[in-house]
A and B are shown apart, each in its own frame.
Chain A
Amino acid sequence: MSVATETAAPAPAPPRKRSRLEHRPGLNRWLPYALLAPAVLLELFIHIIPMLVGIWMSFVKLTKFFIANWSSAPGAGLGNYKVALDFNNAVGQGLLKSFGVTVVFSLVTVAFSWVLGMAAAVALQPEFRGRGIVRTLFLVPYALPAYAGILTWNFMLQRDTGAVNHVLEQLHLSDGRTFWLIGGNALISLITVAGWKLWTFAFLTLMAGMQSIPRDLYEAASVDGAGNIRQWRNITLPSLRPVNLVLVLVLFLWTFSDFNTPYVLFGTAQPPAGDLITFHIYNASFLTWNFGTGAAMSVLLLIFLMIVTGAYLLVTGRRSRRA
């Protein structure tokens, strides 16, 4: 989101006359804090404190025997982490598998969404009749409530009654008896649905970014004889670099912690091939009432995402400075 505002920031407002407030130093000093206070408090209660509670939970044995009285839960030290990271036992192995699935899912989904978003943004760059309509059409997956969209996919991907199998059968591409929501195909379905939901955001962001690329660059390039592909590679792509840096990171973080898509698409019958990590953690804590282990897994996920984000920003930041 910040991308759009950043690149399309309006020109700074002209300096105003001195406001009355500046004549009242006492109020002036406190006003910023007063205005910030609600935000700070909300941030504290909605983000910081629950996060700290989550971290505390990961160090106690918070099973069904203790959830009625939290304070009585015995400390577990690093026990919950040991269980989650012991890849020789079932819990650790499950987490590792789920992690692998999630990595594949995220990388493919981000690539898929970015490519599609970029293609659409480029296609809609030149003005033509009906561009507005096509743009609006492309925004549908983003405007649709996620649950409605995913549930529709769930219907379409049914084996016997789904539209996907019906179309494939009519086109003689399959016998129309493919399972899409169980077995190995589940991952393909999951990526398709998540990508379908996400590419519009990539499209929107890239399109907004392209608005700020000066037209004359392209004109000069075509005078020099550069083709469309060359223009895209040498003008569009470098100009969009700051947008892309943030976009890819945001897309990655969103897909990696995607919960809604597997939850709504698979319901309670989630297949191993679609066992994304947030969903896995949810099952580990809510189905087995073992909130300590669940919290430990969440903290591990948090640490992993922080490392990835930090490394990403470090690497891309360094390159930017060099450029």
Chain B
Amino acid sequence: MGPIRLRSSAGARDGTRESDVRLRSLVAAVAATAMGISLAACGGGDKDDSSGGSTGDQTLTYWASNQGTSLDNDKEVLTPVLQKFTQETGIKVNLEVIGWNDLQTRIQTAITSGQAPDVVNIGNTWAASLQATDAFLPFDGDAMTAIGGKDKFVPTALATGGKEGTDPTSVPLYGLAYGLYYNKAMFAAAGLQPPKTWEDMVAAAKKLTNPAKNQWGMALAAGSYTENVHFAFINAAQNKADWFNSDGKPTFTGDGNVQGVLRYLDLMQKDKVANPSNAQYDNGTKSVNDFATKKVAMVINQNNADSSIVANGMKAGEYGVVPFPAPTGGEQVASHVAGINLSVFKNTKHKDAALKFVKYMTDANTQTTLGKPFSSLPVLKDAKPVFTTDAAEAATFQDVYNTKSKPLPLVPAEDQFESTVGKAMNAMFAKIATGGTVTADDVKAALKTAEDQVAASS
């Protein structure tokens, strides 16, 4: 499921959960019925069902993901940008903003039914999985030229667009990266320096933890499988371990993977620097709020946490950001290459218009316009981050994004990796929080189950 859980959007997600459920079951029912009808009709023939097939009046349908503080906020931010595109090209854009809880199901349904929009935002970690469905337009030489050439993108960002060695089926739109946020006043009061290694971080967190006063060193979104799996990935990467071999087969039970997962679990289990209640934090907003309201001294989050932190009353100068540290001697991986990509559906009737739109959205001007409201890092070479006024913070995130991040596995089974490993970590955190013990053997057994699940369905 949705690998990119955006903190700033999560508040809105909770509020719409009720309608999400209804919508989801409705969509599933409609999809099933639609499939039934098309089968019953034994319909060959072409699917000329979308309107505006002629070249005269072109209207693109665009599904945007939730990047701002709410779906309405996204609409407000994007509408003038899209109007400008219409003025420049005469192509109209029909915008729909979709929450993260729904986006993957909506894309699934669109692929299944063929009733798809022209252009869609995707979590970049889905890229290889979605590429495998063969429903998206590959950005081959011509298409890539049409959107301004591949050289305009940051190479690591573009690398998330699809499987290595293939024409990508998505291009980067908004960049995100993890950073370790720390409370400057708390660190100063305890005479601590911002941590440079994992060991520093744990030592600082221990010093700033006082369970009796409900004060904790760190907050973890330990009940969110999408967050958990990112940390499984990053911690294993720091141990130089991979989750898939070169044949795309899962290798979850390697020593580096097990130790990486255990190291992250131990923040709650052995080091006890996180409140056991965090096992119920099912999205990143909750841990960010703990940080913003000064209940915890540190939180590891993607850079779009800024808007939530400030909205909760913390001022820009009160916190600092350093790269999420690796253990001494470990690989300096501080994040996965997070972010949002843009894809074009293969069955679009408006291929040229869609490519023009992709070019416009990934244009330097548009990127600058959207970088601030969406707290995103630029995906273009030579572009400057505009999401914060704190120059040091901007530099840290840009450095993490450009030089210290590794893409999540670019294999079709990536989505299964996220759900199986992420949910296994949820369960292990739950066990720790409710008083149980998780040993390295337990981690290995849990990862073995996840590996079997992935192997069984690929």
Contacts and interface: CB of A to CB of B under 8 A. Distances in A.
Interface string A161-189: 00000000000000000010111110000
B153 to A, nearest CB: 26
Given A184-B434, A287-B415, A53 B36 contact: yes
Contact of A269 (B35, B134, B223, B412): B223
A145 B18 CA distance: 10
A151 B1 contact: no
Interface string B425-439: 011001101100000
B276 to A, nearest CB: 8
Nearest to B431: A183
Interface residues of A, number: 49
Specify which of A147, A158, A287 lies most central, judged by the most chain B CB atoms within 10 Å of its CB: A287
B35 A179 contact: no
B112 A268 contact: no
Interface stretch (B329-337, B358-366, B449-457): B449-457
A239 B226 CA distance: 54
B452 A91 contact: yes
A148 B1 CA distance: 25
A196 interface: no
Contacts of B108: 67, 286, 289
A89 B456 contact: yes
A147 B282 CA distance: 18
A264 interface: yes
Nearest to A284: B457
A81 B186 CA distance: 57
A264 B16 CA distance: 11
A109 to B, nearest CB: 20
Given A182-B279, A269-B225, A289-B415, A147 B21 contact: yes
B32 to A, nearest CB: 4
Contacts, number: 137
Given A268-B224, A286-B108, A179 B433 contact: yes
A182 B33 CA distance: 36
Interface string A45-84: 1100110111000000001110111100000000000010
B440 interface: no
A268 B111 CA distance: 23
B81 interface: no
B452 A283 contact: no
Nearest to B101: A268
A147 B114 CA distance: 31
A308 to B, nearest CB: 24
B279 A179 contact: yes
Nearest to A49: B36
Given A91-B453, A91-B456, A151-B18, A65 B39 contact: no
Specify which of A63, A67, A145 lies most central, judged by the most chain B CB atoms within 10 Å of its CB: A67
Specify which of A259, A264, A269 lies most central, judged by the most chain B CB atoms within 10 Å of its CB: A269
Contacts of A185: 434
A293 B282 contact: no
Contacts of A54: 32
B409 to A, nearest CB: 15
A176 to B, nearest CB: 12
Given A181-B280, A182-B430, A182-B434, A267 B17 contact: yes
Q: Is the interface of B mostly helix, strand, loop or mixed?
A: helix
Specify which of A90, A91, A259, A286 lies most central, judged by the most chain B CB atoms within 10 Å of its CB: A90
A231 interface: no
Contacts of B22: 147
A93 B280 CA distance: 25
A255 interface: no
B112 A67 contact: yes
Contact of B457 (A63, A147, A272): A63
A271 B428 CA distance: 10
Nearest to B434: A183
Contact of A67 (B25, B133, B426, B427): B133
A98 interface: no
A50 B32 contact: yes
Interface string B24-67: 01000100110111011000000000000000000000000000
Contacts of A89: 452, 456
A160 interface: yes
Interface string B383-427: 000000000000000000000000000001001100110000011
B78 interface: no
26 contacts: A49-B36, A49-B39, A49-B40, A50-B32, A53-B32, A53-B36, A65-B134, A68-B111, A83-B457, A90-B453, A94-B449, A94-B453, A147-B21, A179-B434, A182-B434, A184-B434, A267-B282, A268-B1, A268-B282, A269-B223, A269-B280, A269-B282, A287-B419, A288-B415, A288-B420, A293-B456
Given A54-B32, A64-B129, A264-B21, 6 more contacts: A50-B35, A69-B134, A93-B449, A148-B18, A271-B427, A287-B415
